[in-house]
Structure 1
């Protein structure tokens, strides 16, 4: 990217520089074929730069690809990243309208003549028409580079930051023809004359509920094709945001992150309730802010993700919902909700669940494991590919039945209960490895152990010898405490990795 920005800035703003040309006798591929080929080089900007210099047709196609995501420079060395951001900023300055320049000048931000040189004053291409995404992270970087190019004190820069940020934001909405991703800034769309064109086919929106209701109302008249909305934070019941959500015809995924415990957003909840035909994924982070009735209307939900880092229980939200089409249940964190709630939720599915991931932070009692396992056996045996299983010796036969019934399992995470055990007598490692050696699902390729597992090198050796006869190598992860893997176990595992029996191995 840095080569493209540095070495081609002269070429694109000065028609006297000619690109390398191919022989006229050589046959030419059609533009659509070339574009499909160049797409495979999207992450290889150095190669794209070489292609850009071949001829005018190649140049036009490569420019479109490079500027779809001009921010893809974080993987570059530090010096190249800094240089690239400066070049991007200079190019954007050259695209700022005279009206915006006058507005900046009236507010004490005057672009020096050296920057607005003859080379940069009349770009032959509107690069932003190809740009497909815009986030505040990129705007902040451009803002910083912008202000660094203009002589002023640090105090003045802080004062001018919001002004410059808004002008850059307006520039994108004016010049971009079809943005697909946008992180919304609280700027009236009436101040952005190109918003109707640039946002008409927006697919993904990231925003926060504190943005003015009027901005969301304006957006609801323009954007009708949004598929993903991420609201962070969702700490205000915003009427305009509710209207925007309700106006969407194709909304598939919704993510809500709420900072306050026991806080509810009834207007937004009501809007979400109207999306039963399209919404298939809902992610609830920190606290659940939607009303208990909302999820009951969303019977087509396929993905439910919960990451409740606060102490709020989801009992009232989940206890009576019915999600027959649920495919992914992902509980990343939840220390409060009674475990039987999740067992009951699994029981409402109709052989649709593919993934059940419940983090070890969830509180599980010994007597809750068997009902959980049987709900999986009864409702998910044909579809399940990924599961978390808590081990206890009194449910050994139930775990065996689950592994025999769920033949499509690819990933199993084994957890232990938070009980104090005698380290000298604890032999769960031998039991589970022996069971896996005899009854592991035929499609199993990923095995993980978390918690208080005690593995002996002899038992591990027997298990790996059996696995050697399988055609598919196994990925193994061990994260155990207070026990640990002996040096003999580590050496044995490394040997089987070299032999190709284990695809990967990691441990803590």
Structure 2
């Protein structure tokens, strides 16, 4: 067999880095392939650990334990914890721990909870964390789980271990002393994710978060996921003021609350803005009606490329889009029961490079949609959510057939009623000689009625047009909020 140069093998493995099944096959070719494949497979271990059963978690723990030093094994042995029943102990051929670049402490907690007695978890955790966090380790990603209170910033060697960290994801309700401690060590984070933001009337409740934000030298991407119904303005203000100090570097921002300061006027380099009020809106029954939108008025985001919002009024969004410079390529907007005429006009007049659009829709919007299809010639994906008891599918599909740009072939439709068979058939019949359609549909009516007979009829119809090459893929999502807006490539 002809042996490939290592540089060539490396290029092949780089192409396969997201295809773990193929990477496993590469392990078996020969020693060279194996040695080059193992570091890639172990770079992010437990990638889909949420789907792991207990046996998988236990096997992963056993691999980790094989790397413990003799000192750590003796400490566990002295505490009556015996993992190794033979007198002869041999480490694995590979030092798998050294390949890890993503330290997921949630994963560590999971495997400990299913494998170790509760009374002994603390002892075992101490030794495992020393195995990962030391002067010889380098991580670029760190995940910290909910209610985590282990003072990892005090472990010897932590400065070197996290000196090149670029991504940190954690629950915001962890011990703030941990985040404050990490802020003194880590300066290189580019992406920050905070989950379960709780809005307390106490600045000390987020002092660690603020410290971590303010000490980063090149913070580009930050996300706050808020699951609290409490609307404490001072808590939000303190977080937003910390972001203002990083205004020159921040390019991506996600908030789950309405901005309480004029923070957006400072973020002139923002390329992605995501404001999601859906959970708060659900909990407080139409909260946006009472929300002060002054801090979103007359905002200019000159280099904005991606805009995603839920429950932000269309008038506010129209103003925002009008104050961009034509770089928007993705717009995702969900707001129930609103006439979007001005919003759609703002899109087709200011977004010539638009590729993906998600829009809440009523029948009166169809005329403006046609103008958008004509002007936005680069559009390739369209998601429409119709909040009407009687959607005008016939007229909508006539417009799509007549005016869709040549690049548009990815569609997702959501409504309270299932699409009519005749309407779908009309759509497919008139889509000849164009790019095969990628289509997803969902219906809340179908969710409650479980009309499997109607769905089977749709499946049969789609099957016919698949054979003709008019439809490439068809799928059904049964819950409106589970649809991934622009993930066709992954979904299909």
Residue 186 (structure 2) aligns with? 223
Matched, 1:158 2:118: yes
CA distance in 1, matches of 2:432, 2:261: 50
CA distance in 1, matches of 2:430, 2:417: 20
Pairing 1:311-326 to 2, within 5 Å after superposition: 311=281, 312-313=287-288, 315-316=292-293, 317-326=295-304
Mark the CA change 1:112 to 1:169 in structure 2 (over 3 Å): closer, same or farther. Answer: closer
CA distance in 2, matches of 1:73, 1:304: 28
8 Å contact 1:412–1:447 — kept in the other structure?
yes
List runs of 5+ in structure 2 lacking aligned partners: 282-286, 479-492
- TM-score of the aligned structures, taking structure 2 as reference length: 0.79
Mark the CA change 1:262 to 1:463 in structure 2 (over 3 Å): closer, same or farther. Answer: same
Using the TM superposition, give the Cα deviation of residue 266 of structure 1 relative to its aligned residue in structure 2, in angstroms.
Answer: 3.6
1:430-466 Cα deviation digits (max 9, x unpaired):
2122222221122111123222568665554443233
Matched, 1:195 2:158: yes
8 Å contact 1:41–1:47 — kept in the other structure?
no
SS in structure 1 opposite 2:347?
helix
1:313-353 Cα deviation digits (max 9, x unpaired):
3643534533232222223x43xx43322222222222122
Matched, 1:67 2:45: no
Residue 271 (structure 1) aligns with? 242
Residue 21 (structure 1) aligns with? none
Give the count of matched residue pairs: 448
Residue 62 (structure 2) aligns with? 90
Using the TM superposition, give the Cα deviation of residue 104 of structure 1 relative to its aligned residue in structure 2, in angstroms.
Answer: 4.8
Match 2:337 to one of 337, 347, 364: 364
Residue 301 (structure 1) aligns with? 270
Using the TM superposition, give the Cα deviation of residue 354 of structure 1 relative to its aligned residue in structure 2, in angstroms.
Answer: 1.3
8 Å contact 2:28–2:34 — kept in the other structure?
no
8 Å contact 1:89–1:145 — kept in the other structure?
no
SS in structure 2 opposite 1:230?
strand
Match 2:210 to one of 225, 242, 246: 242
Matched, 1:130 2:108: no
Match 2:437 to one of 471, 474, 494: 474
SS in structure 1 opposite 2:156?
coil
CA distance in 1, matches of 2:260, 2:212: 18
Greater displacement, 138-147 / 370-379 = 138-147
Greater displacement, 491-500 / 95-104 = 95-104
8 Å contact 1:131–1:176 — kept in the other structure?
no
CA distance in 2, matches of 1:36, 1:304: 35
1:128-164 Cα deviation digits (max 9, x unpaired):
11111121332023314652xxxxxxxxx22333443
Match 2:428 to one of 452, 458, 464: 464
8 Å contact 1:448–1:478 — kept in the other structure?
yes
CA distance in 1, matches of 2:360, 2:182: 47
